[in-house]
Amino acid sequence: MTTTFLSREIWPQLTKTVRGSPRRCAMAVAYFGAGASRLLPISVGSRLVVDASERAVASGQTCPADLLKLLRRGVAIFSVPNLHAKVFVVGPVAYIGSTNVSSRSESQLVEAAIRTTERRAVRAARQFVDEHCLHELTPELLKQLAELYRPPQVSGGKQGKRRLRETARRPTLPRLLLAQLELEDWSERDQHLHDTALAVAKKRREHPRSFELESFRQTGRCAFQPRDVVIQVVDEGGSNVLVSPPGNVLHVRTRRDGDRQVSFVYLERPARRRRQVKSLARALGCAPKQLRRNGLIRDPSFAQTLLNAWAK
pLDDT computed for residue 206 by the predictor:
57
Determine whether 264 is exposed, middle or buried from the number of CB atoms within 10 Å of its CB (0-12, 13-18, 19+): buried
Answer whether residue 86 shows pLDDT above 60.
yes
| Mean pLDDT for the stretch of residues 48-65 | 93
CA–CA separation, 109 and 132 (whole Å): 27
pLDDT at 70: 92
> What pLDDT does residue 21 have?
85
pLDDT interval class at 107 (50, 70, 90): confident
Whole-number pLDDT of residue 154: 58
Assess whether pLDDT exceeds 80 at residue 295.
Answer: yes
Q: Which of 182, 218, 209 is nearest to 271 (CA)?
A: 209
Confidence (pLDDT) at 1: 81
Q: Is the model's pLDDT at 265 over the cut of 70?
A: yes
| Percent of the chain surpassing pLDDT 70 | 91
Per residue in 179-218, pLDDT tens?
Answer: 999 999 998 988 999 999 998 888 876 556 667 889 999 9
Q: Using CA atoms in the order 193, 194, 197, 200, what is the torsion angle rounded to 10 degrees?
A: -160
Q: Given this model, what pLDDT does residue 43 score?
A: 84
How does strand 3-6 pair with strand 229-235?
unpaired
* For residue 270, pLDDT beyond 90: no
Query: What is the chain's mean pLDDT, rounded?
Result: 87
Q: Where are the domains of the chain?
A: 3-168, 176-308
**Cα distance between residue 271 and residue 126, in whole Å:** 44
Q: Does the pLDDT value for residue 251 go beyond 60?
A: yes
249, pLDDT greater than 50:
yes
Task: Give pLDDT, residue 156.
Answer: 44
Strands 295-296, 176-182: pairing is antiparallel
What is the spatial distance between Cα 158 and Cα 25, in angstroms, rounded to a whole number?
35
The tens digit of pLDDT for each residue in 11-38 reads 999 999 999 888 899 999 999 999 899 9
Per-residue pLDDT tens over the stretch 133-188: 888 888 888 888 899 988 887 544 444 444 444 444 556 678 899 999 999 999 89
Rounded Cα gap, residues 85 and 128, in angstroms: 10
Would you say 192 and 199 are in contact if contact means Cβ atoms under 8 Å apart? Answer: no
| 103 or 169: which leads in pLDDT | 103
Chain centroid offset of residue 164 CA: 14
Q: Would the pLDDT of 241 be above 90?
A: yes
Neighbouring-strand partners of residue 29: 86
Length of the chain in terms of residues written: 312
DSSP the chain: --EEEE-SSHHHHHHHHHHH--SPEEEEES-B-TTHHHH--PPTT-EEEE---HHHHHTTSS-HHHHHHHHHTT-EEEE-TT---EEEEETTEEEEES--BSHHHHHTS---EEEE--HHHHHHHHHHHHHT--SBPPHHHHHHHHTT------TT----HHHHHHHHHSPPPPPEEEEEEE--PPPHHHHHHHHHHHHHHHHT-S-TTTEEEEEEEEESS----TT-EEEEEEE-STT-EEEPPPEEEEEEEEEEETTEEEEEEEEEEES---EEHHHHHHHHTS-GGGTS--EE---HHHHHHHHHTTT-
Write down the CATH number for the domain with range 3-168. Answer: 3.30.870.10
